[in-house]
A = this chain, B = another copy of it.
């Protein structure tokens, strides 16, 4: 994903007033590209922002998604994850260690048949299996 040099400017350009909480949450997303859940974000940030409310994390992420600077990753039911990289890319979840890996793919040669005349807005490709690390551990 493209580098973001100044979070404050980046938020402003996206039409988001850069409040302290919003900056911290977005910084968290780009520093922790491991696709965190709301709970992970809240637990990690609240030591630094003692007044932080979990509702603010929910509100802020929803706002980010609406404004197009964050995408939701639904690779597993029970856990909604967030990704500041909104480009079309795939996610691999290792069923052993739980890590989620990004990967790129060509959506040109998917050769999709039945939905040719449909208007595509978002493509999500999720793959589950065993990562190289875990495979070698045996």
- B-binding residues in A (CB < 8 A): 72, 74-77, 80, 90, 92, 94-95, 101-106, 109-115, 117-132, 135
Contacts and interface: CB of A to CB of B under 8 A. Distances in A.
B129 A119 contact: yes
Contacts of A119: 129-130, 135
Number of copies: 2
A114 B101 contact: yes
A136 to B, nearest CB: 9
Contacts of A128: 120-122, 124
A92 B113 CA distance: 12
Given A77-B72, A125-B125, A117 B132 contact: yes
A110 B125 contact: yes
